[in-house]
Amino acid sequence: MTYCVGLKTQHGLVFMSDTRTNAGVDNISTFRKMHCWQEPDDRVLVLLSAGNLATTQAVVSLLDERTKAPDERTPSMLETPSMYQAARLVGDTVKEVIRQSAPAGQSADAFGASFILGGQIRGMEPRLFLIYPEGNFIEVSADTPFFQIGETKYGKPILVRAFDTAMKLEETVKLLLVSFDSTLKSNLSVGLPLDLLFYENDTFRIGYEKRIEADDPYLREISEGWSDALKTAFKSLPDFTR
């Protein structure tokens, strides 16, 4: 499994992803699920991936090759005229990879993968998309200003209750770590380290990037502090009376 979140705030975009991949609980590995393309002062694109690892790696490799080989740069993540076109490019690449992987006449479900794509291209607004295994996609709205992929359930209640698009980027990291910590404690197939990335609106370069390891002091502070804060919050509510 996997857990990845992309948030859109008034200040920018925030991405977090875990790094565990598994084929059964006895076969786990660490792979980066956050991929980034940037052309400083022109664009930043960040892609988070969940699902079949062969599919997600193939999609990223194809997108990457297209950004690297000058002759084959069209279509390219570094040249799409808009974020919408970049989302279409990812969607088309996913469909192509899944079609090639699935044996003729068989279900492609096992090869499925989903993606969160966010970023900004000069002259346009920052945008955040969720791309389905079928290659189609949706965009965040004011009502739902975040996307999750992978093991989304354990970490969702805190996002729904506490996320606010006016949050500072530093506060969103705290929120994401609480959400990831609940997920890490409940599903073994989501694992440390975590990758974190901020993009601040209209900067057209990655604002901040960090790999958060198991011994990260801030992660420990949040994980332990949240258990205590939750207990205090719980005690503050009135008990049931018969």
Binding site for a copy of itself (CB under 8 A): 153-154, 156-158, 160-162, 168, 170-171, 173-175, 177-178, 182, 185-186, 208, 218, 221-222, 225-227, 229-234, 236-242
| Least distance to a copy of itself, CB of residue 68, Å | 30
* Contacts of 38 by beta carbon, 8 Å cutoff, 6+ apart: 44, 45, 204, 205, 206
**Vertex 56, ends 131 and 148: CA angle to 5°?**
45
Least distance in angstroms from the C-beta of 212 to a copy of itself: 10
Query: What's the min distance (Å) between Cβ of 69 and a copy of itself?
Result: 35
Q: Which is nearer to a copy of itself, 90 or 222 (CB)?
A: 222
The residue (of 83 and 167) whose beta carbon lies closer to a copy of itself is 167
142/242 with CB nearer a copy of itself: 242
Q: How far apart are the first and last CA of the chain?
A: 43
Least separation in angstroms between residue 49's CB and a copy of itself is 22
Nearer to a copy of itself, 200 or 204 (CB): 200
Please state the closest distance from residue 22 (CB atom) to a copy of itself, in A. 18
Query: Measuring CA to CA, which residue among 161, 164, 163, 159 is closest to residue 149?
Result: 159
**Smallest separation, CB 163 to a copy of itself (Å):** 10
Name the strands in the sheet holding 43-51, side by side, starting at the edge strand that comes first in the sequence: 34-39, 43-51, 113-121, 127-131, 137-139
- 81 vs 157, which CB is nearer to a copy of itself? 157
Angle formed by the axes of helices 83-101 and 53-68, to 10°?
Answer: 130
Check if the beta carbon of residue 13 is closer than 8 Å to that of residue 200: no
Are 176 and 14 in contact by the 8 Å Cβ rule? The answer is yes
Q: Which is closer to a copy of itself, CB of 68 or CB of 231?
A: 231
- The total number of residues written for the chain in this structure: 242
